[in-house]
Amino acid sequence: LTQDPMDFEWSYWIEWGRERILWLLAGHLLVSQVSRLLVEKYKPWCLMVYGMAACWLLLGIKGFAVILVHAAISFAVAQFQLSLLTWLCSLILLSTLRIPAVEEAKKKWYDTENEYYLLLFTLSVRCLFCTSFSLEYCWHGPAQKSSHSFLWMLAYVFYYPTFHNGPLMNFDEFSKQMRRQEAFSLKSNLSVLILGMIRIFFWWCLAELMIHLMYIHALYSSASPLETASYWALG
């Protein structure tokens, strides 16, 4: 069964996962459990520091600085408590990713295009998280502002499991889960971990099977088979 070579994203993330991301996620799991056992009160800040270190390792000091600047700008604009300004800020920050001069400058930071694309993907997803935090900051009253500090924003933005690809979790839900204190149970934690690994393995195998059987991306990049197929076949 020959693999479809045209699925760029799957090949790209599998390569990054094998090289570094999988190991960094394992590191996050270790830091999370150790901080939960020893310093549960400071767990969000331990995970924030770990996420920042992982970002620095993968994207370099300049990539880390860009994400930090984006977060600081979003937080500063959120102080006006106007949702429209927050949306405009997010759109402007996203648009800077497509300015040719800025693109060229960022590409010079890295030895390979893959490293640049990792920064690009990460910045795009981080923009969603900055937008979520800023909007909820605008919507909440003065009494809740203390729980929406810049430090909490950094803990949210640099939370590593959702760092490169998401999924998006709004800030209120993230904060609620981080503040929740639960009794440590090795049995329940182990069962959650094993079930999670089984789920990931199942979906990974299914995705690999589709790439080796269906050739969706190869068909997209070749017009002639699509033109010869009937509308029913295409549907």
DSSP state of 229: S
Q: Which pLDDT score, from 0 to 100, does residue 142 have?
A: 72
Higher confidence at residue 235 or residue 24? Answer: 24
Q: Average of pLDDT values for 167-184? A: 85
Confidence class of residue 6 from pLDDT cuts 50, 70 and 90? confident
- pTM of structure: 0.86
Confidence class of residue 7 from pLDDT cuts 50, 70 and 90? confident
Q: Is the pLDDT of residue 128 over 90?
A: yes
156-171 confidence digits (pLDDT tens): 999 999 999 888 999 9
Outline where the chain has alpha helix (H): 8-16, 22-38, 43-78, 83-95, 100-107, 113-139, 150-157, 171-179, 186-213, 216-220, 223-228, 231-234
Q: Considering the chain, what is the average pLDDT of its residues?
A: 91
DSSP state of 144: G
Q: Which pLDDT score, from 0 to 100, does residue 144 have?
A: 67
Q: Which pLDDT score, from 0 to 100, does residue 145 have?
A: 67
Q: Which pLDDT score, from 0 to 100, does residue 184 have?
A: 64
Q: Is the pLDDT of residue 183 over 70?
A: no
Percentage with pLDDT > 70 across the chain: 97
Q: Which pLDDT score, from 0 to 100, does residue 76 have?
A: 96
Q: Is the pLDDT of residue 185 over 80?
A: no
The amino acid occupying position 86 is T
Q: Average of pLDDT values for 193-206? A: 92
What is d(CA 123, CA 163) in angstroms, rounded to the nearest whole number?
9
Higher confidence at residue 73 or residue 193? Answer: 73
Q: Which pLDDT score, from 0 to 100, does residue 5 have?
A: 85
What is d(CA 71, CA 152) in angstroms, rounded to the nearest whole number?
11
14-62 confidence digits (pLDDT tens): 899 988 999 999 999 999 989 988 888 899 999 999 999 999 999 999 9
The amino acid occupying position 55 is C
Q: Based on the number of CB atoms within 10 Å of its own CB, is 167 exposed (0-12), middle (13-18) or buried (19 or more)?
A: exposed
**Do the Cβ atoms of 198 and 1 come closer than 8 Å?**
no
What is d(CA 62, CA 158) in angstroms, rounded to the nearest whole number?
15
Q: Which pLDDT score, from 0 to 100, does residue 216 have?
A: 85
Q: Based on the number of CB atoms within 10 Å of its own CB, is 81 exposed (0-12), middle (13-18) or buried (19 or more)?
A: middle
